[in-house]
Chain A
């Protein structure tokens, strides 16, 4: 109990050192290693995530820029289309006006022709009627042709 034995102390010291080394090998080292490894893995994951995030940000910016350019392009196209539609419209309108004028002109000409034809017809009719009437009134049919021409002359003067 109280007797101090040199060998006992030596043995205990050796035992403790062996236990310490064994614990280093079998307990502290492996667990410290695995914890460090896990930490490293976690760090890698975080780094990867940060990298991916920055990549995503870049892509986002890129797409936003693209979107802006697309918007501009859209505006351009629309304005182009509007312009071309406008000119098309103007052209069509001009064409239509032109057509309308042509038609109107043609109609006027035709109407005039018709009118002069009708007037001519009417003149002839009236002349005939007048001649007939004159003939009847005069009672003679001779010299009717001369009278007809005289009447024509008269009518022509009166009409103007």
Chain B
């Protein structure tokens, strides 16, 4: 198998199985299955961390859980601002999901974020949340009026924003994960065994977590802008 074929095989997201629902054929892709694994891991960790919570004489586990909670909601909450506080939960979840999805490649799984469909879904949810937050906060009239701000001439660009923002979110995440993966695969083939480990720290761990942060940061920035 040539390098190109190997890469393509790694990049392809295969259908693991197909659900037959009446006449409907629903393919379940690899990325969805890995997402389930990611979800299972995250929920299991959350479940274990929040067992036996107490108000006094807390266990180390609870202290750790509270630390994670305070830090994550603190970071995301401060990005969202006072008005957008209620979206902290969703964005924190997304942060954890993308973060673990990006680094799960280290454990031999195909990162779900390497599948364009997953990043598209994430971006769609982000833009829906952004616009919904804007409508919820300002009402439909003001939300529509905001498209003509600050001057009427920018209205087309503002409308374009609704599409370019999720597109850039989705492509940035997908492109980074894909690029990192391709570079790592090439490094592994060209100069094994020590050098790829060093680069893996950057491409697999740092870049993966950074992209998760960037995605959440930009989404919260849009929400903050929308609810102001």
Chain A contact residues, CB within 8 Å of chain B: 1-5, 7-13, 15-16, 18-20, 22-24, 26-28, 30-35, 37-38, 41
Pairwise interchain contact A12-B55, C-beta atoms closer than 8 A: no
Question: A9-B117, A12-B121, A31-B66 given. 17 additional CB < 8 A pairs?
Answer: A1-B116, A8-B117, A9-B120, A11-B35, A12-B117, A15-B39, A16-B125, A19-B97, A20-B90, A20-B93, A22-B39, A23-B93, A24-B89, A26-B43, A27-B50, A31-B69, A35-B66
Pairwise interchain contact B55-A38, C-beta atoms closer than 8 A: yes
Question: CB-defined interface of B63-85 with A at 8 Å, one 1/0 digit per residue?
Answer: 00110010001000000000000
Taking the nearest CB of chain A, how far is it from the CB of B2, in angstroms? 17
Q: Which residues of the partner chain B approach A24 to less than 8 Å between Cβ atoms?
A: 89
Chain B contact residues, CB within 8 Å of chain A: 8, 11-13, 26-29, 31-32, 35-36, 39, 42-43, 46-47, 49-50, 53-56, 62, 65-66, 69, 73, 89-90, 92-94, 96-97, 112, 114-118, 120-122, 124-125, 178
Measured CB to CB, the nearest residue on chain A to B11 is: A1
Pairwise interchain contact B39-A18, C-beta atoms closer than 8 A: yes
Please measure, in the bound complex, the distance between the C-alpha atom of A28 and the C-alpha atom of B70, giving whole angstroms.
10
Please measure, in the bound complex, the distance between the C-alpha atom of A27 and the C-alpha atom of B88, giving whole angstroms.
13
Tell me the interface secondary structure of chain B in the complex. helix
Taking the nearest CB of chain A, how far is it from the CB of B197, in angstroms? 26
23 A-B contact pairs sorted by A residue (CB < 8 Å): A8-B31, A8-B118, A8-B121, A11-B28, A12-B31, A12-B35, A12-B117, A12-B118, A12-B122, A13-B121, A16-B93, A18-B39, A19-B42, A19-B43, A20-B93, A22-B43, A23-B46, A23-B92, A27-B49, A27-B50, A31-B50, A34-B54, A37-B55
Tell me the interface secondary structure of chain A in the complex. helix
Q: Which residues of the partner chain A approach B96 to less than 8 Å between Cβ atoms?
A: 23
* A27 in contact with B46 given A1-B11, A9-B124, A20-B93 (CB within 8 Å): yes
Pairwise interchain contact B46-A1, C-beta atoms closer than 8 A: no
Q: Which residues of the partner chain B approach A31 to less than 8 Å between Cβ atoms?
A: 50, 53, 65-66, 69
Please measure, in the bound complex, the distance between the C-alpha atom of A22 and the C-alpha atom of B31, giving whole angstroms.
20
Measured CB to CB, the nearest residue on chain B to A31 is: B69
Q: Which residues of the partner chain B approach A4 to less than 8 Å between Cβ atoms?
A: 116-117, 120
Please measure, in the bound complex, the distance between the C-alpha atom of A38 and the C-alpha atom of B112, giving whole angstroms.
39
Measured CB to CB, the nearest residue on chain A to B73 is: A28
Pairwise interchain contact A7-B124, C-beta atoms closer than 8 A: no
Q: Which residues of the partner chain B approach A26 to less than 8 Å between Cβ atoms?
A: 43, 46-47, 50
Pairwise interchain contact A23-B89, C-beta atoms closer than 8 A: yes
Measured CB to CB, the nearest residue on chain B to A40 is: B55
For the complex of A and B, the 5 pairs showing the least CB-CB separation, nearest first, are A12-B121, A8-B117, A27-B46, A38-B55, A34-B53
Query: Which of B62, B116, B122, B178 has most chain A Cβ within 10 Å?
Result: B116
* A19 in contact with B120 given A8-B115, A12-B31 (CB within 8 Å): no
Q: Which residues of the partner chain A approach B69 to less than 8 Å between Cβ atoms?
A: 27-28, 31-32, 35
Pairwise interchain contact B32-A15, C-beta atoms closer than 8 A: yes
Taking the nearest CB of chain A, how far is it from the CB of B116, in angstroms? 6
Please measure, in the bound complex, the distance between the C-alpha atom of A15 and the C-alpha atom of B28, giving whole angstroms.
12
Pairwise interchain contact B27-A7, C-beta atoms closer than 8 A: yes
Please measure, in the bound complex, the distance between the C-alpha atom of A33 and the C-alpha atom of B125, giving whole angstroms.
27
* A19 in contact with B39 given A4-B117, A8-B118, A30-B50 (CB within 8 Å): yes
Please measure, in the bound complex, the distance between the C-alpha atom of A38 and the C-alpha atom of B55, giving whole angstroms.
5
Taking the nearest CB of chain B, how far is it from the CB of A54, in angstroms? 26
Q: Which residues of the partner chain B approach A41 to less than 8 Å between Cβ atoms?
A: 55-56
Pairwise interchain contact B32-A19, C-beta atoms closer than 8 A: no
Please measure, in the bound complex, the distance between the C-alpha atom of A31 and the C-alpha atom of B27, giving whole angstroms.
37
